[in-house]
Amino acid sequence: MVWMKEREEESKRLKQQRLTEEAEAKRLANESARREEARIRKEIEEKELEEARALLAEAEKRKGKKGKKAAGDGVSFFCILLRL
């Protein structure tokens, strides 16, 4: 009888350990997915900022050639920054 009780306790302990390991694996997978999403989001934001700077530089370049600022260039840049 003692060995049956020990066997049941060991079975319960192993089941709890398995559940704990599964929960930890799920937590780690979620954390990995969250970090990947954050990395992608950051790359997109950096690319958009770079593009906005390039547009602003082009507008400044055109301004220098024409002697006046093209209408809406500053507004467009501001709108792009607001999206970030």
Q: Which long-range contacts (CB under 8 A, 24 or more apart) does 45-51 make?
A: 45/84, 48/80, 48/83, 48/84, 49/81, 49/84, 51/80
User: pLDDT tens-digit profile of 20-47?
Assistant: 999 999 999 999 999 999 999 999 999 9
**What's the pLDDT score for residue 75?**
54
HSE-up (13 A, CA, CB side) for residue 16: 6
Cα distance between the two ends of the chain: 68
pTM: 0.57
Burial of 15 (0-12, 13-18, 19+ CB in 10 A): exposed
